[in-house]
Structure 1
């Protein structure tokens, strides 16, 4: 989450013309590689989290309550991005993807070791299958597009479901073979990060308004 916040802070500085030289966050490998790594960490840990939740016998009502929070926040992201980026608003970003993938992961969890090949198939399928029917905003959430849509955030079902399924499989393996790794005490220095990790959705929703507000306020004071 700290990496994501730092990435977004630099993006915001660039957006408001405060970086020299200007950066290309959409094509420069320096930034696109970081984005891929950050999203991968998000989805992988979300998969591990589902393994832990199922192991702890999380009630279905609690799962669906949390799912509704994520889906609601995804809708807010779409609305806010439409105001700030009318031509490239977010119709299916990371929260939209997580909302859909969590449902699939929860029902796929009993597959156990089969999650590894299923995850690999999800990762590889977009490399071999693409069709123009998936290029519209109503269908590009599948991921089998012939061209990447013009949007500020795009995390389609394929290939990203594969990352979450691998996280789920890794979590199940750790619970079965290395449970102590998931139950050990944290170093004191990591306590603030652990506290932050308990509120990921709130942090995700608030960090950009805070950063943008700080930049706009600083510009106004100048």
Structure 2
């Protein structure tokens, strides 16, 4: 199979990055008082966040399907993994400076770092990835009910267990992407990627429309974009706010 970049997959990942950037710009405008929105409870924003994270993790699963099919070896996998894990630590440090009471201890990069290892180890499950993903999502949905019925499960709401996601209440943090339910989304991405490569490879390998070139470029540099876009936007908005107010 082809061993180069898959432009369509890059473009899909780029679309997730572009949507995430727009979302974060709105969050930053709200943080500096330019707009008044409830990003924590308003469905307009909470559902967008869910959709963005879902698309991003689904793309991560698709990418792992391609990497596995291309025979990516563990040393290359671990080099990329180390980049993601290192960036996750930087996100924790940066968020602690801005939000010391709700810093990000297990956000999207932390979740990806853990889930990539699980997805890579289970790549051979084939069609069983579909029900495994459904179970992962179902466990998270059932967790609040289980906590209400069995108070002894309260330990899952506290460190060092709340990163699993089997919580009765969401911890206070600016970004929370635990293993459950999100592993299910990445498993579905892996399953979809494996099916497409086996049955409809042209969906991923086909030519990309010229209009989507910018999205593909963003998708190829997704980690760098993720790490830089917020410091840049926050810096610019802070400067503009200081000048105008």
Contiguous gaps of at least 5 residues in structure 2 = 1-16, 148-152
**2:142 matched residue in structure 1:** 128
Given the alignment of the two structures, is residue 47 of structure 1 paired with residue 61 of structure 2, yes or no?
yes
Given the alignment of the two structures, is residue 171 of structure 1 paired with residue 190 of structure 2, yes or no?
no
Given the alignment of the two structures, is residue 64 of structure 1 paired with residue 78 of structure 2, yes or no?
yes
| TM-score (normalised: structure 2) | 0.88
Q: Work out the CA distance in 2 between the residues paired with 1:122 and 1:143.
A: 10
Given the alignment of the two structures, is residue 191 of structure 1 paired with residue 205 of structure 2, yes or no?
no
- 8 Å contact 1:91–1:137 — kept in the other structure? no
Cα distance, 1:137 vs. partner? Answer: 3.6
Q: Work out the CA distance in 2 between the residues paired with 1:5 and 1:137.
A: 30
Cα distance, 1:3 vs. partner? Answer: 0.6
**1:157 matched residue in structure 2:** 179
Q: Work out the CA distance in 1 between the residues paired with 2:164 and 2:192.
A: 24
Cα distance, 1:15 vs. partner? Answer: 0.7
RMSD: 0.9
- 8 Å contact 1:134–1:140 — kept in the other structure? yes
- C-alpha change, 1:37 and 1:212, in structure 2 (3 Å) is same
**1:6 matched residue in structure 2:** 22
Cα distance, 1:126 vs. partner? Answer: 1.9
**1:87 matched residue in structure 2:** 101
Contiguous gaps of at least 5 residues in structure 1 = none
**2:42 matched residue in structure 1:** 28
Return structure 1 stretches of 4+ with deviation > 4 angstroms. Answer: none
Cα distance, 1:174 vs. partner? Answer: 0.1
Given the alignment of the two structures, is residue 73 of structure 1 paired with residue 95 of structure 2, yes or no?
no
Cα distance, 1:127 vs. partner? Answer: 2.4
- 8 Å contact 2:32–2:241 — kept in the other structure? no
Q: SS at 1:141's partner residue?
A: helix
Cα distance, 1:220 vs. partner? Answer: 2.5
Cα distance, 1:60 vs. partner? Answer: 1.1
Q: SS at 2:211's partner residue?
A: helix
- Aligned pair partner of 1:204 in 226, 233, 238: 226
- 8 Å contact 2:92–2:104 — kept in the other structure? yes
Q: Work out the CA distance in 2 between the residues paired with 1:34 and 1:196.
A: 20
**1:103 matched residue in structure 2:** 117
Q: Work out the CA distance in 2 between the residues paired with 1:168 and 1:193.
A: 21
| TM-score (normalised: structure 1) | 0.97
Query: Cα deviations across residues 165-186 of structure 1 (Å, max 9, x unaligned)?
Result: 0000000000000011111111
- Aligned pair partner of 2:34 in 14, 18, 23: 18
Query: Cα deviations across residues 56-77 of structure 1 (Å, max 9, x unaligned)?
Result: 1112111100000000000000
